[in-house]
Chain A
């Protein structure tokens, strides 16, 4: 049974008070909270089998290696990949994207080639490609956004050509909650021979990611937005593609054999995991995936829609007071950005915080999009399955107080 109120009890942080009020956490697009099982997994590793992976013969090293590799297998199943070696652990989504830019990009992007991103990308899926294009004298093309805040896929089709080598696109905008039609985008890209990277930082926590069905070539996402610890990211890549890529970080663990003047790379996936990895956090990430398996991503996706609808209903009542909802016409989920005429989002977030409600304000690492919307910044509420309609009622109280302070 999917019961958000009951699930919330699994998260110790919700016993916390902020300004003498119970915490309402609506900043899940920044990072999610962690259930007790994930925190316990961290403690358990440090207290009972803390040791390095892939090195020792001793019992604890074997246990740590097994637990670390178990998480890899779990991730593989979670996103329906073919092989554990298609799963590479990084620090975060940003590092996963940079890995592709440096490793695949350095060897495969030539002068005159084109890379396509969209107008709604997070900086992490924009800046690495700007830089790669600059290094290689390639061209970065942008899928435009329409006035209804959805992507112009007709324009996208016209951007595609034989010159397109990579399309890198978000599965869910961290500002708009908008989910582009990836099936269509990926099929069209493959027709011209381009690869596709999907930025799943927001989406993987909220809806089933099936890399076989999607047929994406790369998928990047972060543990910390899906109940797991910070410091763990995932890069999925199709086996044939990863096999032909060279490592871009060198050192221990990523080598099979080292001579004084030459080294031979380890097999996939370890050739991309140089140095001691983030063992504890990867192991605890397994507990996060187990928790999500138990709830079911279909349930989360459905509940997201319910919460968003409720929030839109509440906040749209204040349009006459200058509140504007930044809401795409269709395909949205779990995120509601808004602005209030004459009130800076920092001030909105501050007054919300006084009421114990945590929201985000600013550019959300999406400066080009925010400027395209003709805003200097926005306020953003982002939901997860442990949020309830009562949380949104608390946000409404904070909104009323904001209007009272600034508009009276």
Chain B
């Protein structure tokens, strides 16, 4: 199985949900000190407390960028409690490539960041008139 599968390379070269949300309900930035990766995840919760928008930004290798991009798609519609429950296996399954021990942190950096952003998120209050 190829590490740099077409899907991974496609998400890396044309990332989905890449960008910044100016007024997020929750945001978090995490570093991977080993390789210098830095990922920020911004979430918007709707009135019911479900994620209505998720974006990521920062720098990283193809694996961490693609994994985070794919993950942001999965976050839509989930509650923070559901996001907290996403386990590592789910990420490996989503990526569908062989993750060696050295690349575990790359694969999971987005998930760690998204979970922290979810914990910090509070439902968006209706805009004041």
Assembled-state Cα–Cα distance A156/B24 (Å): 47
A363 in contact with B9 (CB, 8 Å) = no
| Chain B residues within 8 Å of A354, by CB | 3
A363 in contact with B4 (CB, 8 Å) = no
Assembled-state Cα–Cα distance A363/B36 (Å): 7
B37 in contact with A363 (CB, 8 Å) = no
A324 sits at the interface (CB 8 A): no
A370 in contact with B36 (CB, 8 Å) = yes
Contact of B106 among A346, A363, A370, A406 (CB under 8 A): A346
B35 in contact with A345 (CB, 8 Å) = yes
Contact of A376 among B3, B9, B36, B63 (CB under 8 A): B36
How many B residues face the partner with a CB closer than 8 A? 17
Q: List 15 A-B contacts (CB under 8 A).
A: A343-B62, A344-B59, A344-B62, A346-B61, A346-B103, A347-B63, A350-B3, A361-B35, A363-B34, A363-B35, A367-B36, A370-B36, A376-B36, A376-B59, A406-B9
Say how far B114's CB is from chain A's closest CB, in angstroms: 20
Contact with B along A360-385 (1 / 0, CB 8 A): 01110001001000011100000000
A57 sits at the interface (CB 8 A): no
Assembled-state Cα–Cα distance A363/B33 (Å): 8
Assembled-state Cα–Cα distance A345/B60 (Å): 9
Say how far A200's CB is from chain B's closest CB, in angstroms: 26
Pick the most buried of A347, A367, A405, A406: most chain B CB atoms within 10 A of its CB: A347
Known contacts A350-B3, A405-B4, A362 near B36 by CB under 8 Å: yes
Chain B, residue nearest A354 (CB): B3
A residues bordering B, Cβ < 8 Å?
Answer: 343-347, 350-351, 354, 361-363, 367, 370, 375-377, 405-406
Assembled-state Cα–Cα distance A224/B59 (Å): 33
Assembled-state Cα–Cα distance A377/B13 (Å): 19
Chain B, residue nearest A351 (CB): B4
| Chain B residues within 8 Å of A343, by CB | 62
A377 in contact with B4 (CB, 8 Å) = no
A344 in contact with B60 (CB, 8 Å) = yes
Known contacts A346-B106, A405-B4, A377 near B36 by CB under 8 Å: yes
A350 in contact with B36 (CB, 8 Å) = no
| Chain A residues within 8 Å of B61, by CB | 344-347
| Chain B residues within 8 Å of A362, by CB | 34-36
Near A by CB (< 8 A), chain B positions 1-37 give: 3-4, 9, 13, 33-37
A346 in contact with B3 (CB, 8 Å) = no
Say how far A354's CB is from chain B's closest CB, in angstroms: 8
Chain B, residue nearest A362 (CB): B35
Assembled-state Cα–Cα distance A406/B126 (Å): 44
Assembled-state Cα–Cα distance A346/B63 (Å): 9
Contact with A along B46-68 (1 / 0, CB 8 A): 00000000000001111100000
B116 sits at the interface (CB 8 A): no
| Chain B residues within 8 Å of A370, by CB | 36
| Chain A residues within 8 Å of B33, by CB | 363, 367
Contact of B35 among A346, A351, A405, A406 (CB under 8 A): A346
A347-B62, A377-B35 known; 4 other A-B pairs, CB under 8 Å? A347-B61, A362-B35, A363-B36, A367-B33
